[in-house]
């Protein structure tokens, strides 16, 4: 999944959360918010992975890691 897809998923979930909260369906709003948090965590992991790969590739061959 791409970074763009993660962000689109978050954007798709945000209006649901607001609609549920406006309709005073708080348990459903919490569920939608939980889904947003899951997507944010996935996005964090994705970016961390990209950074780790980038850091690994940036090191010259044979250089020791710390």
Question: Mean pLDDT across the stretch 3-12?
Answer: 93
**What pTM, to 2 d.p., does this model score?**
0.74
Ramachandran area for residue 62 (φ above 0: left; ψ -120 to 50: alpha; else beta) = left
Closest CA to 9 of 31, 34, 30, 40: 40
Give the per-residue pLDDT at 1. Answer: 79
Domain positions in the chain:
3-44
pLDDT at 26 over 90: yes
Per-residue pLDDT tens for 38-64? Answer: 999 999 999 999 988 877 776 666 666
pLDDT of residue 56: 72
Mean pLDDT for the chain overall: 88
Distance from C-alpha of 29 to C-alpha of 31, rounded to nearest angstrom: 5
């Amino acid at each position: 999944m791409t970074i763009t897809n993660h962000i689109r998923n978050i954007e798709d979930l945000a209006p649901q959360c607001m609609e549920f909260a406006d309709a005073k369906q708080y348990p459903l709003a919490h569920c939608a918010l939980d889904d947003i948090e899951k997507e944010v965590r996935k996005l964090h992991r994705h970016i961390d992975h990209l950074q780790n790969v980038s850091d690994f590739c940036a090191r010259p061959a044979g250089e020791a890691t710390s």
